[in-house]
C-alpha cells in the first residue's frame, strides 16, 4: 500500500490529453513539493517534473504538473505512442516515520 | 555527462549480507545528497535511504533501519549501502540516485531524484 494514491492506469487516443492524479495528505503533498517520474519497461525512472510544475531540460512542454492542497496532477497533452510508460509521483513525508514516498504508479495506455 | 553506476548486486541467502556500491561523475558529488531507491519485481518505487553531502545526516525507511548502513566517500565520489539480515522482501533492483533535498523560504521541502543509475539487482533466496 503506497502512501500516495494513483490510479493503476489511464488511457486515451493519440493526440488526446490524459491526467494522472496523485493523492496524499497534510504530512506529504500538503506540505512539500511534488515530483513526477517516467519509467519504461526494464529502464530506470527518469525525472519528468519537479517542484510541482517545473520541467528539467529536455522534457517537452506536453508534460505539465500542478498541485492543489493534498493532491497533485500530471497532465500529458498531444499524447504519443512513445508516452506509453508508468508514471510515479513522489514527495517527502513529514510524519513520524519520515522519509521519501512514492505513489504506486500509473500506466499510461495509448489506444 | 552526469553518470551514476551501481555495482554489488547478486544472489544472497536469507539472513545474509551484501554491500552495494555506487560511483558518480559529471556533477559535484561532495555537494549532493544521495539516495537509494528500490523496486521489487513488478512493483513500484520505494525510497530506501538518503545521506547528506558531508555524511553526518542519514535517513532510512523504517523496514531497513537497524539492519542497513549508508555511507559515502566524497574523495572517491562513491556511495555504499551495507545490507545485513537480508530478507526475501528485500529482493529488488536498487537504484543509486542523486537526491535534491532542501527547504524553500516558506519551509516547504523540495525533494526529488534527478540522476539515476541503471540499477543493480539483489535477489534474496535460499
Tens-digit pLDDT profile for residues A6-52: 999 999 999 999 999 999 999 999 999 999 999 999 999 999 999 99
Would you place residue A98 in the very low, low, confident or very high pLDDT band (cuts 50, 70, 90)? confident
Chain B interface includes A27 (CB < 8 A):
no
Cα distance from A79 to chain B (closest Cα, Å)?
Answer: 23
> What element of type H or E holds A80?
none
Question: What per-residue confidence (pLDDT) applies to A95?
Answer: 87
- How big is chain A, counted in residues? 111
Would you place residue A97 in the very low, low, confident or very high pLDDT band (cuts 50, 70, 90)? low
DSSP at A103: B
Contacts B116 to A, Cβ<8 Å: 44-47
Tens-digit pLDDT profile for residues A40-92: 999 999 999 999 999 999 999 999 999 999 999 999 999 999 999 999 999 99
Residue A96, number of CB atoms within 10 A of its CB? 7
Ramachandran class of A69: left when φ > 0, alpha when ψ lies in -120 to 50, beta otherwise: left
Instruction: Provide the β-strand partners of residue B5.
Output: B23
Distances (CA, A) of B62 to A98, A103, B106, B123: 9, 17, 28, 20
Q: Which burial class, exposed, middle or buried, applies to B28 when counting CB atoms under 10 A from its CB (0-12, 13-18, 19+)?
A: exposed
Chain A interface includes B121 (CB < 8 A):
no
Tens-digit pLDDT profile for residues B68-100: 999 999 999 999 999 999 999 999 999 999 999
Cα distance from A12 to chain B (closest Cα, Å)?
Answer: 22
d(CA A72, CA A65): 7
In this structure, are strands A71-76 and A63-68 parallel, antiparallel, or unpaired? Answer: antiparallel
Contacts B22 to A, Cβ<8 Å: none
Task: Give the CA dihedral A54, A60, A63, A68, nearest 10 degrees.
Answer: 20
d(CA B44, CA B28): 29
CB contact under 8 A, B114 and A50: yes
Tens-digit pLDDT profile for residues B15-60: 999 999 999 999 999 999 999 999 999 999 999 999 999 999 999 9
Amino acid at each position: 500500500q503506497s502512501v500516495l494514491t494513483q490510479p493503476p492506469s489511464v488511457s486515451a487516443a493519440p493526440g488526446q490529453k490524459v491526467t494522472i492524479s496523485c493523492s496524499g495528505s497534510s504530512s506529504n503533498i500538503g506540505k512539500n513539493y511534488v515530483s513526477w517520474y517516467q519509467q519504461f519497461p526494464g529502464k530506470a525512472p527518469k525525472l519528468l517534473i519537479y517542484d510541482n510544475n517545473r520541467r528539467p531540460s529536455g522534457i517537452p512542454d506536453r508534460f505539465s504538473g500542478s498541485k492543489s492542497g493534498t493532491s497533485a496532477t500530471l497532465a500529458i497533452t498531444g499524447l504519443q505512442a512513445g508516452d506509453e510508460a508508468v508514471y510515479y509521483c513522489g514527495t517527502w513525508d513529514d510524519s513520524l516515520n519520515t522519509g521519501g514516498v512514492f505513489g504506486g504508479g500509473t500506466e499510461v495506455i495509448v489506444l | 555527462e552526469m553518470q551514476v553506476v551501481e555495482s554489488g548486486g547478486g544472489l544472497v541467502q536469507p539472513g545474509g549480507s551484501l554491500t552495494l556500491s555506487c560511483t558518480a561523475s559529471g556533477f559535484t558529488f561532495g555537494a549532493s545528497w544521495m539516495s537509494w531507491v528500490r523496486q521489487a519485481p513488478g512493483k513500484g518505487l520505494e525510497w530506501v535511504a538518503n545521506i547528506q553531502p558531508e555524511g553526518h545526516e542519514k535517513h532510512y525507511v523504517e523496514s531497513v533501519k537497524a539492519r542497513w548502513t549508508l555511507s559515502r566517500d566524497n574523495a572517491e565520489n562513491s556511495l555504499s549501502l551495507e545490507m545485513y539480515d537480508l530478507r526475501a522482501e528485500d529482493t529488488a533492483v536498487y537504484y543509486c540516485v542523486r537526491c535534491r533535498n532542501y527547504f524553500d523560504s516558506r519551509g516547504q521541502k523540495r525533494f526529488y531524484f534527478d540522476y539515476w543509475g541503471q540499477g543493480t539487482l539483489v535477489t534474496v533466496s535460499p
